[in-house]
Chains A and B, each alone.
Chain A
């Protein structure tokens, strides 16, 4: 299974964009790149996923590098409710397991 590397923590000011990076250099060609987030005292929730092309949904955008060895989750305007731990996880294709690394703790400052 592909391993991921994310910064331990990041800070953002409220209403500013946030770019959360993830390195997954060992990803296989058919693995999707998933992002989940976990708010305090809650189970993880799905944010977005993609394969090769950049993806947008109501929560965020996902930018995938051309070589697929890294990706960036973009929150266009951070709110206090976006404060959470964000996990990137390759899955699909060869990876049947859904595993999580240590994630990035995002702090949003008012």
Chain B
């Protein structure tokens, strides 16, 4: 069991470039989440999904898009990266609301 796997682990982007972060889980979880964590701060929810084919906005969705075409994968896209999106991104999944969430190890993204 791999749990929650995030790809890539590190990335440096130039302002205006685009990229996609991949989150994969092998636990057959319905719920998946994307967070960002800035230095010294807590986690802020970007987008989440409560099942295959569904997505919803979280607390800070601007500048990001997501897709959940397959139940096991949740993709986070940055169409035009900005320095303000420099952060550590965490993905998580859970079977249902009210159950334990499992987190990936994070993706450290720097936008220069």
Does A53 count as interface, using CB distance less than 8 angstroms? no
**How many Å from the CB of A29 to the closest CB on chain B?**
13
Chain A residues with CB under 8 A of B64: none
Indicate if the CB atoms of B45 and A98 lie closer than 8 Å: yes
Question: Which of B48, B100, B102 has the most chain A CB within a 10 Å cutoff?
Answer: B100
Interface hits, A76-110 → B, CB 8 Å: 85, 87, 91-93, 95-103
State how many residues of chain B have any CB contact under 8 Å with chain A: 27
- Range, interface on chain A: 20 to 34
* A/B interface sample: 26 pairs, CB < 8 A: A31-B98, A34-B100, A43-B90, A43-B104, A44-B92, A46-B102, A49-B100, A85-B42, A92-B97, A92-B98, A93-B97, A93-B98, A95-B97, A96-B31, A96-B56, A96-B97, A98-B45, A98-B94, A98-B101, A99-B44, A99-B45, A99-B58, A99-B59, A100-B43, A101-B42, A102-B41
Chain A contacts to B: CB under 8 angstroms? 31-32, 34, 36, 42-46, 49, 85, 87, 91-93, 95-103
